[in-house]
Amino acid sequence: MSVKMLRIEDLLNSNVWDVDYEPHIKVDYEKCEKCKAKPCIVLCPAGCFTEMGGKVLYSYEGCLECGTCRIICPYNAIEWKYPVSGRGIHFRFG
Amino acid sequence: MVKKFDVIVIGAGPSGSTAAYTLAKKGFDVLLLERGRVPGSKNMFGGKVYVSPLKEIYDDFEKYAPIHRWVTCEKISLFSKEDYISIEYKGAKSVSFTTFLTQLSNWMARRAQDEGATLLTEITVDGIYLEDGVAKGVIATGNRVEADVVIDAEGINRLILESAGIVKKPSPSQVALGIKEVIKLSTESINEEFCLNDDEGLAWIMIGDVTGNIPGGAFLYTQKEAISLGLVLILDVAIRAINEHVSRYVERLRTHRLLRRLFEKGTIVEYSAHLIPEDIVRLKPPSYYYDGLLITGDAAGFLLNLGYTYRGVDYAAYSGYLAGLTYEKAHAEGRFDKSTLSYYGKLLYDSFIMRNLKKFKDVHVLMRNPRIFREYPQLFTEFARTIFKAEYDSEKIMSAFSNAKKGKVSWFSLIKDFISLIRRL
C-alpha cells in the first residue's frame, strides 16, 4: 500500500464546522496590497488565503481558529475575530 | 435585575474549567462561559498530559478522567534526510498520559457543573466590563453580567485582554504554530507497531529534517485508537524559512519513508491547528492579577516547552486552581482589588509553574539556533550510520564523530552550543 500526500482540501475534509453567516476574517486591501512576502498564503494551516493575479483572496469557512494570520501579517491587514454563537470549527478530538 | 455571580470564568478549556470546578466545589457561585458548542470543541494540543498536578486538584482523577494510555515510552529522535537516531526511555512508573484535549476539557467542565457551576456554551465574550479600571464582569452578546472577580482563561489568542489594553498582540517570535493530524488506527495495530500493551502509550518527539529543518519539532502520541501526529514550528523563523504550504510539511511527515508504514492502515479523522506560547518572558502579561481580574492558562503564557517535552495542560489547569484558591481568600477578606488578588501571584511563584518557567525562561533562545535543527541531526545520524553500518572496517568512535562533524560545525561552535544548551536546558 502506498501512502500519498494529501492536498489541504482533503485534509480539511476530515473536519466539522458550523460555518458562521458573517465572515470573522477581514482583510484591509489598502494595507494588503503593499505586502510582497504574503506569509499568510503558506502559513495559514487551513489555506484560507490564496493568491490570484497578485491579489490575496481569502475565505473564512475552513478557518481552524488558530489565529496565526493576524500575528504573521506584516502589515496588520488581517482583522481576525472569533466566530460567534458556537459557530466555526468544531474539534471532536483536539 | 440580572443576577450577580461570585466569579465569571471566560473559557471552558483546561484552566477555565479547573478554576470553575475549584470554586464551585468550595460553594461559590460561578459562571463558566464557553464560545464553542461544547467545552473542548475549540481546544487542541499535542497529546500528552502530566497527571500529578491534576490528581492534586480533582478527586479520583485517575478513576474517572478520559485517560487513553499511560506514557510508558518516551522517545526523542534526530532526523536527517535519509535516517534518524533515537534515545528511548522505558521503565519507571508513568507520570503522564495521552488523551484528546476535547474530551479532557469536556470532562473538566462537566466536573465543574457537577459541583454546581453554571456553564453557558456558544457565548463569545465581547469584553471585560470595567468601571474605573476595575473589572466588574463581562459583556457578552450585548449583555452585561457582573461578578466580584473575572478569571480570564480565554487562551492564547487574547482578544479580550488586548481590547482591555492589558496585553498587546504577540509578535511571531513569541509563539509557535502547532499543526496536527489525528489518525485513526485500531488498538491492536498501535500496540503491535509500537510494542505497547493496551494501556501503554508512546510520546515521540522528532527534530531535524521532519520539520524541514525549521526550528521546532514533530510529535507523535498514541491514543487508545488513534495517533496524534503533528508539528510545532517557531513562527518567526517559519515565516522566513517556509517555502510551500505548511500542510505539506505535516503531510511530508506522515508520508516520510521511515514513518509512513505506521500510518498506512490509518484514516485521518481530524486536521487541527493552534498557537503555542513560546517566548514566555515576553508573552506574559504585565501582571497576572488586576483589580477584579485574574489571568490563567495560555492567556498568561503558562506552558513549558523544553524541546523534548511540552507541558501546557497541567500548567493551565493548576493556574486555574490557584486562581480559585485566590478568590476564596479574597472573598473571606471581602476585597477584590489588585493588592488582595496579588495572592495569586504569590501562589504562582511558590508553585511548580513559576519555578519551572523561571528556570527555563531562556530555552526559546535555543530554538533560534539553526544548527540544532539542521547540522546536529545530520551530524549525529551520520555518526550513527558510520559506526553501525561498517561493512568491513569499523571506525573508532572519535574518528567517526570527527568525520561526521566535518563541513557541518566547527569545534568552536560545537563547544559554544553545548555550553548554551546546558546553561538553558
Contact B42 A3 (CB under 8 A): no
Q: Is A88 an 8 Å CB contact of chain B?
A: yes
What is the mean pLDDT of the segment spanning B104-127? 98
User: Could you say which of A1, A3, A15 has the minimum Cβ distance to residue B271?
Assistant: A15
> pLDDT of B365-410, one tens digit each?
998 899 999 999 999 999 999 999 999 999 999 999 999 999 999 9
Q: Quote the minimal CA–CA distance from B63 to chain A in Å.
A: 21
CB-based contact B148:B28 (threshold 8 Å):
no
pLDDT for B118:
98
CB-based contact B303:B360 (threshold 8 Å):
no
- Give the E-state strand segments of B109-225 in sequence order: 118-120, 125-131, 134-140, 143-152, 175-184, 200-208, 216-222
pLDDT for B233:
97
Q: Quote the minimal CA–CA distance from B237 to chain A in Å.
A: 11
Q: Of chain A residues 22-81, which have a CB less than 8 A from chain B?
A: 37, 39, 41-47, 64-68, 70-72, 81
What is the mean pLDDT of the segment spanning B282-295? 98
Pairing mode of beta strands A25-27, A78-80: antiparallel
pLDDT for A2:
62
Cell numbers standing for residue B141: 452578546
Nearest to B229 by CA among B290, B181, B261: B181
The string over B37-66, giving b where at least 16 C-beta atoms fall within 10 Å of a residue's C-beta and e elsewhere, is bbbbbbbbbbbbbbbebbeebbeebeeebb
Contact B255 A4 (CB under 8 A): yes
Alpha-carbon distances, residue B363 vs B116, B196, B231, B303, B424 (angstroms): 41, 32, 18, 12, 5
- Rounded to whole angstroms, the Cα distance separating B340 from B318 reads 20
**Considering chain B, what percentage of its residues have pLDDT values greater than 70?**
100
Task: Give the DSSP per-residue string, B284-353.
Answer: S-S-SEETTEEE-GGGGT--EE-SS-EE-HHHHHHHHHHHHHHHHHHHHHT--SHHHHHHHHHHHHHSHH
Identify the DSSP state of B32: E
Q: Quote the minimal CA–CA distance from A69 to chain B in Å.
A: 10
Which chain B residues touch A75 with a CB distance below 8 Å? none
Identify the DSSP state of B143: E
- Has the ipTM of the complex gone over 0.90? yes
Cell numbers standing for residue B115: 459541583
Contacts of B353 (CB under 8 A, 6+ apart): B302, B315, B318, B319, B322
Which chain B residues touch A85 with a CB distance below 8 Å? 122, 124
- Rounded to whole angstroms, the Cα distance separating B258 from B52 reads 35
Nearest to B138 by CA among B351, B355, B331, B293: B293
> What pTM did the predictor assign?
0.96
Where residue B167 falls among pLDDT bands split at 50, 70, 90? very high
The residue of chain B with its CA nearest to that of A79 is B159
The residue of chain B with its CA nearest to that of A73 is B172
**H or E element in which residue B106 lies:** helix B101-114
pLDDT for A40:
97
CB-based contact B134:B292 (threshold 8 Å):
yes
Nearest to B320 by CA among B284, B288, B350, B292: B288
What is the mean pLDDT of the segment spanning B41-47? 97
Cell numbers standing for residue B143: 449583555
Q: Is residue B3 scored above 90 in pLDDT?
A: no
User: Could you say which of B156, B244, B271 has the minimum Cβ distance to residue A12?
Assistant: B271
Contact A42 B45 (CB under 8 A): no
> pLDDT of B353-369, one tens digit each?
999 999 999 998 998 89
Q: Look up cell 490557584; give the residue.
A: B322
> pLDDT of A33-42, one tens digit each?
999 999 999 9
Where residue A3 falls among pLDDT bands split at 50, 70, 90? confident
Phi, psi values for residue A5, rounded to 5°: -70, 135
The residue type at B372: I
Which chain A residues touch B46 with a CB distance below 8 Å? none
What is the mean pLDDT of the segment spanning B183-194? 96
Q: Quote the minimal CA–CA distance from A9 to chain B in Å.
A: 10
The residue of chain A with its CA nearest to that of B179 is A45
